[in-house]
Chain A
C-alpha cells in the first residue's frame, strides 16, 4: 500500500467539509472504492494490476454533481493545500488521472447531461462527465455526429477528451477535439468559475479556450463544453491500397491532401503492422504496407474524392484492394483495445508512442524511433494515421515480454526514453492525441523547450499552491 498524503485528522476534517458540499452519498473514504477508482487505461497501470501491484491511491474520492459543487470542492482543497486529481472516464492511456500524491480524486461522472442542442448553429453543450459514446448516440438521434471517434469512445468522457487534446480516427476530416470545441467552462484552483464564449472565431486577444484544452487538470477542471456537430454523412465509402514500401505510400497520402482531397480516414500500416493486422484476412504480399481510406459526404463528393485518390495511389505504385481491408478495419475498430491472452501473458507490456511531425521529417522520425525502440528487443509495428495537409501522426506501437516485473517495467521505460529522444532529435512532437500524463511528464521540458517556462509561469499564477493534478505535464512535481 502506498503512503498517502493526508494524516487522519486532516482527512476527517476535509471529508466532513466535502460531505457538506456534495452530500454524504457522493464522497468516499472507503479503501475499496479508492482502489477501484484508481484504475485507468495506461498500459503500465494495467500491467501492474495484472502483476498484483497497487496503483497510487487518493485519500478521498468526491463526486460533485454541478459546477458549483466543483467550485466549492476546489476552494476547500486550495485552502488546505490538498492535491486534486480530476478524473472523467478513467480511460487515459498516460496515467494522467493517477493521484500520485494522494489527496482528493475529483470524479466528474455524475455530471453527465446534455445541456442543449442548438440545431441552428449545430452545437451541443454538454457536461464534462458524459461518456463519449452516450453523447454520440444522443446526437445521432437528432441526425448529427460529433465527428470524434477515439477508440476509447465507450469509456472516455467529454472532459477527458478536452483535458488530453484527444483525437479520433476521423480527425483528418473533422479535426481533433481542439478544432471541435467552441466554448468551455472551467473551474480554477481557487474555485472561480471561468467561461470562454462559444463563437466560431474571434479576434479578442489570445484564445484562452486553447489554454485549458490539453491542460490535463493542471490548470483547472473542465466542467462543461460546447462542441460542434456535423450532419451524419450520407455515405461513408471505403478503399484500400497496398504499397511496396513505406515511402511510396506516404507520398501518395501527401499528394492526396495536396490535391485538395480530405478523406475522413487515412491509416497507413507499415510492413509489420500490415502483417499483424491485415494478412490474416487479406492476401497481402509479404513486406507490403496497406493504406486504408474512407470518404464521407454526399455521393458526388465521395465519387470525386475516391477517384482522385485512387489515381494518385496508382501513380505511386498502389495495388487496389477495393473496400475490403478498410471496411473491415472500420467494423472492428474497437477490437484492438480489448485485452487478449497474448498481450496480457506473464509480464508482457506494450504501449503506443503517438508522435506527430511534418511531412519533411515524418519518415526520418519513423525510422529513427523504430531503430531506437527495437534496440531493446521490443517488437515494433507502426501505422501512420491522423494525416493532414502538412504532416501527420505515427502510432509507434511496441510490445515486450520479460521474465519478471522489475525487468519489464525497466525495459518499458528504456523503450519510452529512447523512442521519445529519437522523435525529438528528428524534429517530431511526442504526442498527437494521447497527452502527457505520467508517461511523458519527464520529457515535457525537452519537448516544449523555451516555451515550457511560459507554461510554468501560467501554472504559478493560476495554481500557486500547486494543488491541481501535481506531477503531470511536468508541472508541480514534488521531490
Chain B
C-alpha cells in the first residue's frame, strides 16, 4: 500500500464526489470527458486500492493526463490534493516500469544532456554574458527553458539584476533541476540531477540563489529538502527579489493594460501571489488588470507535469483557453513569471497579445524609462 490510511480515505471521498471541482480542471476542458478529471483519477485509484479493478494501460494513461496544477484543491472543501496523490502513484508506476513510453525521450534527454530538449549541455549557458559588478554576489540558476528556449528571459534577468547592483554568477555546470522527472515519477533520475546541482551550488561563493523558473523554485526549495538535499544559501524567485527592491525599479508608461498569469508552481504550490503583482504595478504605474481566474483560482497554462510532452494538442487547447481569458480583460500584454508558461502562452497568443516574462517587463521598463529621461 503506497497510501496511508488518511490519504486512502481522501481518495475514497474524492472518488464518489459529485464533481465539485471538475469545472475548473483544465484537462476536463481539453478532453470534455469524465476520464481526465480529479474524481476520475481518484476513482481509478480507489478501485485499485479496494481490489475492485486494477489499473490497465488506459488507466495509467489517464493518470498521466493530469497537469498536477492543483486547481482542484482550491475548490475542494475537504482539501484533497489529487496532484500529490497522482504523483505518488506515478512514482510507483515508474518503479514498476509501467509509465507511458512517450516519456522516454524526455527522460533520456535529461540523463544524457541534462535538459529535456535534447540540446547539447555545453551550450546551456555558455552564450549568457554577465557583467562585472561590485555588488552583492548572487547565483542565477537559469533552468532549462530560459537556457534553451527563452533566452531573452535569461538575458533580461541578468541585465535587471546587474542594474540593481548584483554581481551575477551563472553556474558553469548547471543541470536540469529535475522538475520534469519528479512530476512524472522518475525520482531516482531526478535525484541524480539534484545531487549534482546541490554540489555545484553549495560550492559557489554567493549570498543567495535566484531562479526565474517556478518549477526550479519549487524543486530547489521544497523537493530537494524533502529528499535530504540542503542548499546552503537562500533561494528566491526573481519575483520575490524584485519585490524587495520595489523602489529601485524603473517605471514607464505602458501602452495599454496588462494582465498577469500565475504559474502553478509559483502560485498554488509556493504561495507567491502578491510579489509579482507589486512589481508589475510599480513598473507599469498601476496598469494591471486581473483575469477573472487569478491567484489560487488561476487556470494552468497547460504545460505542466508531462502533459505537453505526452499530449501536445490538448496542452495547447488549455493554453489557448488561458489566452482567451487574458484577452477578455482587454489587456494588451500578458505577463507571467514563468518561462515555461510564457513559452506556451506566447505560442497560443500569436499576435493577439504581447506575452512577457517578469524580467522582460522590467527590462522593458528600464529601457523605456532611460529613453524618456535621456
| A residues lining the B interface (CB < 8 Å) | 28, 30-33, 35-37, 39, 41, 45-47, 49-50, 52-54, 61, 63, 89-91, 93, 107, 109-110, 112, 129, 131, 133-134, 137, 141, 152, 154-155, 334-335, 337-341, 344
User: Looking at the complex, which one of A46, A134, A137, A337 makes contact with B20 (CB distance below 8 Å)?
Assistant: A337
**Contact across chains for B58 and A39 when beta carbons are under 8 A apart:** no
What are the residues of chain A within 8 A of B15 when measuring CB–CB? Answer: 49-50
What are the residues of chain A within 8 A of B46 when measuring CB–CB? Answer: 49-50, 52
**Contact across chains for B23 and A30 when beta carbons are under 8 A apart:** no
**Contact across chains for A33 and B58 when beta carbons are under 8 A apart:** yes
**Contact across chains for A334 and B20 when beta carbons are under 8 A apart:** yes
A-B contact pairs, 19 of them (CB 8 A): A37-B35, A39-B34, A45-B16, A46-B17, A47-B16, A49-B43, A50-B46, A52-B46, A52-B52, A93-B18, A154-B20, A155-B18, A155-B20, A155-B23, A337-B18, A338-B20, A338-B78, A340-B78, A344-B16
**Contact across chains for B77 and A335 when beta carbons are under 8 A apart:** yes
| B residues lining the A interface (CB < 8 Å) | 9, 12-23, 32-35, 37, 39-40, 43-44, 46-47, 50-53, 56, 58-59, 62, 75-78, 292, 328
What are the residues of chain B within 8 A of A344 when measuring CB–CB? Answer: 12-13, 16
**Contact across chains for A32 and B62 when beta carbons are under 8 A apart:** yes
What are the residues of chain A within 8 A of B16 when measuring CB–CB? Answer: 39, 45-47, 49-50, 339, 344
**Contact across chains for A90 and B19 when beta carbons are under 8 A apart:** yes
CA distance A46 to B18 in the complex (A): 8
Chain B proximity of A161: nearest CB distance (Å): 15
Chain A proximity of B267: nearest CB distance (Å): 21
CA distance A330 to B94 in the complex (A): 46
**Contact across chains for B18 and A31 when beta carbons are under 8 A apart:** no
**Contact across chains for A89 and B19 when beta carbons are under 8 A apart:** yes
Closest 3 CB pairs of A and B: A52-B50, A41-B18, A46-B16
**Contact across chains for B58 and A339 when beta carbons are under 8 A apart:** no
Residue of B nearest to A132 (CB): B23
What are the residues of chain A within 8 A of B17 when measuring CB–CB? Answer: 46, 338-339
Chain A proximity of B257: nearest CB distance (Å): 17
**Contact across chains for A53 and B52 when beta carbons are under 8 A apart:** yes
CA distance A168 to B52 in the complex (A): 36
What are the residues of chain B within 8 A of A45 when measuring CB–CB? Answer: 16
CA distance A368 to B27 in the complex (A): 47
Chain A proximity of B259: nearest CB distance (Å): 16
**Contact across chains for B44 and A36 when beta carbons are under 8 A apart:** yes
Q: A89-B19, A133-B23, A337-B18 are in contact. Are A37 and B33 (CB under 8 A)?
A: yes
What are the residues of chain A within 8 A of B19 when measuring CB–CB? Answer: 39, 41, 89-91, 154-155
CA distance A131 to B14 in the complex (A): 20
What are the residues of chain B within 8 A of A341 when measuring CB–CB? Answer: 9, 13, 78
Q: A39-B40, A49-B16 are in contact. Are A33 and B33 (CB under 8 A)?
A: yes
**Contact across chains for B22 and A154 when beta carbons are under 8 A apart:** yes
Residue of A nearest to B23 (CB): A154
**Contact across chains for B43 and A39 when beta carbons are under 8 A apart:** yes
Q: A32-B44, A63-B32 are in contact. Are A52 and B20 (CB under 8 A)?
A: no
Chain A proximity of B47: nearest CB distance (Å): 7
Residue of A nearest to B41 (CB): A36
CA distance A91 to B17 in the complex (A): 10
CA distance A456 to B76 in the complex (A): 43
Chain A proximity of B9: nearest CB distance (Å): 7
**Contact across chains for A35 and B43 when beta carbons are under 8 A apart:** yes
What are the residues of chain A within 8 A of B18 when measuring CB–CB? Answer: 41, 46, 91, 93, 152, 155, 337
What are the residues of chain A within 8 A of B34 when measuring CB–CB? Answer: 33, 36-37, 39, 90, 107
Chain B proximity of A65: nearest CB distance (Å): 9
CA distance A334 to B78 in the complex (A): 13
Q: A46-B18, A47-B16, A89-B19 are in contact. Are A35 and B47 (CB under 8 A)?
A: yes
Chain A proximity of B149: nearest CB distance (Å): 29
The winner among B21, B46, B52, B75 for most chain A CB atoms within 10 A is B52
CA distance A129 to B33 in the complex (A): 11
What are the residues of chain B within 8 A of A46 when measuring CB–CB? Answer: 16-18
Chain B proximity of A91: nearest CB distance (Å): 6
The winner among A90, A93, A141 for most chain B CB atoms within 10 A is A90
**Contact across chains for B13 and A35 when beta carbons are under 8 A apart:** no
Chain A proximity of B44: nearest CB distance (Å): 7
Residue of A nearest to B77 (CB): A338
CA distance A109 to B43 in the complex (A): 20
Chain A proximity of B295: nearest CB distance (Å): 17
**Contact across chains for A54 and B52 when beta carbons are under 8 A apart:** yes
Q: A49-B15, A152-B18 are in contact. Are A33 and B23 (CB under 8 A)?
A: no
User: Looking at the complex, which one of A41, A112, A137, A334 makes contact with B292 (CB distance below 8 Å)?
Assistant: A137
CA distance A133 to B77 in the complex (A): 18
Chain A proximity of B309: nearest CB distance (Å): 19
**Contact across chains for A134 and B23 when beta carbons are under 8 A apart:** yes
Residue of B nearest to A155 (CB): B19
Residue of B nearest to A30 (CB): B58
CA distance A32 to B23 in the complex (A): 21
Chain B proximity of A156: nearest CB distance (Å): 9
Residue of A nearest to B14 (CB): A339
What are the residues of chain B within 8 A of A109 when measuring CB–CB? Answer: 32-33
What are the residues of chain B within 8 A of A337 when measuring CB–CB? Answer: 18, 20
